[in-house]
Amino acid sequence: MNYEEAVNYINNTGAKGIVPGTDVIKHLLDLLGSPQKDLKVIHVAGTNGKGSVCAYLEAALLECGLKTGRYSSPSVFEYLERIRLNGKNITEDEYAEAVSAVREAAGGMSHKPTSFEAETAAAFLYFKLKKADVIIVECGMGGLEDATNVFDKPLACVFTPVSMDHMHFLGNDPEAIARNKAGIMRRGCPAIISYMPEIVLSGKRYDPAGALFDCAQKSDAIPVDASEYKVPEKVVNPLPGRFQEINLQTALCSLETIKEKLGKLFPGKKITDDIFIKGVSRTRHPGRYEKVSVSPLIIRDGAHNPAAAEALRESLERDETLPRAGKIHLIMGVFNDKDYQDILRIMLPGASTFTAIDLPDKVRGLPSDELADAARMICKEESIMAKKGPDKAVPFPSVIKTAGSLKEALIPAQKAGPEDIFVVFGSLSLMQLFGRADL
């Protein structure tokens, strides 16, 4: 099997879409010799911030001299970036070799693995064969029935902020979603819980962090409140955006929690607070409040749910490097199963223009004309002006339109002035388009 054949197998094996449950992947892993049992894992779940926390952890562990693996899905920029070792993507030949083993093992299974299950098994087999020291594993969706939920005793389970997403699978309120994600907790293992605010829905308050702490107690996990961790003043956060302060705090708290354990496992390595700090200072995580161009000023952010949109808006409002009288031009593409109307309600106030574009995935992507119509409806519902305080009025976009591509949507940036700010958001899949936008 070559690389192209491996990708084709992964994309076409088993049932299509998301199939919750771990029975199939556990069977597949058994057939592969249970590689997950030999891995030392930091398991990360949550709605927002998983990727950033994993990036901080990866950078810190690499600085310690540990052979560090990282598994996350889906890809943002390159297909093979979902399986990384020592900061580098798996090679095409390595990927083909691991997937070949999975295909052979799955050949006799009555229930074929889904694409995610097959690729997850291939990743764990690859990490075992490469004798990785520590693996950072990001849940694909939820926790309890996620295909990554196969570890008996991880080094730690880390929980980033929980909000509303994938409700059809995980639950209809933030606490139900949090309880699903808590399914990766294990008895006697640390459960590091990030700061996360209460959420108000239909007049009712929900406390996802409280639900996680309650689950930790019931599962005999060891709860750790990351919000109580004090980030040393000397730490310089390399990732911009207000939300990254919480993600950095969560990552450093996680490292502090397992520092002694890592020291015993790898006595020849330098595992200290100073090394952790040096490592996280080198973190790179494209596509999260990233200024990809200064002139014209273009910011890209993968925000694709209301909580992420709130974080993006707060970052824009608090960013002192932006022009004070800035004109914000929103460019958005989104999947049709996302809560795009609430995202619009968060992002539209104060913007000058709004441009809807189609996503590369035409099946899951919301058509740009429907997104533009939703934006117009929200502006109409708000009567074009929304009150903000006793004497202030916040305008909504005066121009709402569609564009055939990101490149077309960014044509106005070619004539932009110093006060113009272009913000591309709504889906991580938009981030990969920048390489083809000819900016």
Half-sphere exposure for 389 (CA within 13 Å, toward CB): 4
For the chain, how are helix, strand and coil distributed in percent, rounded to 5? 40, 15, 40
Residue 183 has φ and ψ, to the nearest 5°, of: -65, -15
* Residue 397 vs residues 169, 379, 394: alpha-carbon distances, Å: 34, 8, 10
Q: What is the pTM of this model?
A: 0.88
Instruction: Calculate the CA dihedral of residues 139, 144, 148, 151 and round it to 10 degrees.
Output: 120
Which residues pair with residue 224 across a beta bridge? 192
Cα–Cα distance, 293 to 437 (Å, whole number): 12
| Predicted pLDDT of residue 15 | 66
| Predicted pLDDT of residue 168 | 55
Instruction: Calculate the CA dihedral of residues 82, 156, 141, 276 and round it to 10 degrees.
Output: -50
Residue ranges and CATH numbers for the domains of the chain are 3-280 (3.40.1190.10), 290-436 (3.90.190.20)
Distance in angstroms between the alpha carbons of the first and the last residue of the chain: 38
The answer, yes or no, to whether the previous bond of 35 is cis (omega within 30 of 0) is: no
Low-confidence ranges of the chain (pLDDT < 70): 15-18, 165-171, 383-393, 435-439
Could you read off the pLDDT of 173-229 as tens digits, one per residue?
899 999 999 999 999 999 999 999 888 877 889 999 999 999 999 999 999 999 999
Cα–Cα distance, 383 to 396 (Å, whole number): 9
Phi-psi region of 101 (alpha: psi -120 to 50; beta: other; left: phi over 0): alpha
| Predicted pLDDT of residue 42 | 98
**Residue 435: CB partners within 8 Å, gap ≥ 6?**
77
Could you read off the pLDDT of 283-326 as tens digits, one per residue?
998 888 999 999 899 999 989 888 889 989 999 998 989 998 88
Q: Which of 184, 182, 142 is nearest to 166 (CA)?
A: 142
Q: Which of 44, 271, 8 is nearest to 139 (CA)?
A: 44
| Predicted pLDDT of residue 436 | 47
Q: Which of 384, 377, 426 is nearest to 406 (CA)?
A: 426
